[in-house]
Amino acid sequence: MGRQLLPQNWRAAGLRYYAYNYYLRQRFGHRVQKVSVDAGFTCPNVDGTVAIGGCTFCDNRSFSPSRRLPRQTLSEQIDEGIRRLKRRYDCDHFMAYFQPATNTYAPVARLRRVYDEALAHPKIVALAIGTRPDCVPDEVLDLLSEIAQNTYLSVEYGMQTMHDRSLDWMNRGHHHDSFLDAMERSRGRGFEICAHVILGLPGESHDDMLATARELARLRVDAVKIHNLYAVRRTPLAEQVERGDVHLMSRRDYVRTLVDVLELLPPTTIVERVSGDAPPDYFIGPAWCLDKPAVRLAIEEEFNHRNTWQGRRFA
């Protein structure tokens, strides 16, 4: 895959899964914290290329601080993000995370310019780029591969699920075959391949969610980001939840399902995220998402109750 695997001693460190913070400390020798940046990109299911309206669950302002503030230059965003993070963390090294919208959806010359601007900041030691699997033509992958020769680079593909009917429900504008194509063309290019997955999509059974986990295991993605489906204001999903057409997972069901999923993943797969939330003024539900320490404690308790760990059922 994109990175050389580090020694897998996370279990010896007392962890139940291969946590991202642990991986970054191993790789860099110190804490590295993500700082969100916004290059002003849009998406092909917003501008009408494949659809209009965006994903059913999506309001980029709820995902990224940069979309809730007046537009700044990338350097200004990084400076402001670092100031916020330093209030919470003892950290002096940062990863520029191109988070909102589709961050490979532009001409290569523009992409090179914005990536280089972020890397020029003296506190930035790595890049993470969130994108869609249908928005990485070969010339973009060539650019990402070039960057990865000198910089740790994580490319996050929005897989969401392997089930096409669910991708249709969320107005995604592509099917699972797009993810398979992006994976195949991304292999061996030097960057980390991360898959974003949502649990609790309407109409998906427990077995459906585990099928997505087995697909991730089969594909041997480098990393995963997992969270439950949650609703933010002014989205089609918010309207569906308020009408009672969509029911969001309980914490108990989510925690059990998450641990089931992690048991199926290879022990070498980095787990970048196990929960998600949004600012309270954007958030509709489920309410338990907002108490992240309680969610993490519930996950740890489920692991301990089962005496299990990531990869226990990987075959």
Q: What are the pLDDT digits (tens) for 235-284?
A: 999 999 999 999 999 999 999 999 999 999 999 999 999 998 888 888 99
Q: What is residue 50's predicted lDDT score, i.e. its pLDDT? A: 86
Q: What is residue 210's predicted lDDT score, i.e. its pLDDT? A: 98
Q: Please tell me the least confidently modeled range out of 41-50, 60-69, 86-95, 224-233.
A: 60-69
Q: What is residue 53's predicted lDDT score, i.e. its pLDDT? A: 82
Which pLDDT tens digit goes with each residue over 207-221?
999 999 999 999 999
Nearest to 161 by CA among 84, 67, 57, 52: 57
| For residue 67, pLDDT beyond 70 | no
Q: What is residue 52's predicted lDDT score, i.e. its pLDDT? A: 81
Which pLDDT tens digit goes with each residue over 38-65?
999 999 988 889 888 888 888 755 444 4
Query: Residue 187: pLDDT band by 50, 70, 90 thresholds?
Result: very high
Q: What is the DSSP letter of 207?
A: H
Query: Residue 8: pLDDT band by 50, 70, 90 thresholds?
Result: low
Q: Which residues contact 150 (CB under 8 A, 6 or more apart)?
A: none
Ordered by where they begin, the domains of the chain are 20-306 (3.20.20.70)
Residue with tokens 């954007």: 282
C-alpha to C-alpha distance for 224 and 255, rounded to whole angstroms: 16
C-alpha to C-alpha distance for 165 and 38, rounded to whole angstroms: 30
Instruction: Give DSSP secondary structure letters for 33-75.
Output: EEEEE------TTTBSSS-BS--TT--HHHH-GGGGS----HH
Give the bridge partners for 198, in sequence order. Answer: 227
Which pLDDT tens digit goes with each residue over 116-151?
999 999 999 999 999 999 999 999 999 999 999 999
Spatial contact of 131 and 101, defined as CB atoms under 8 Å apart: no
Q: Which helix (H) or strand (E) holds 177?
A: helix 176-186
What's the rounded mean pLDDT across residues 177-201?
A: 97
- Here the tokens at position 92 are 């002096």
- Here the tokens at position 196 are 């974003």
Calculate ∠ Cα 21-262-15, nearest 5°: 45
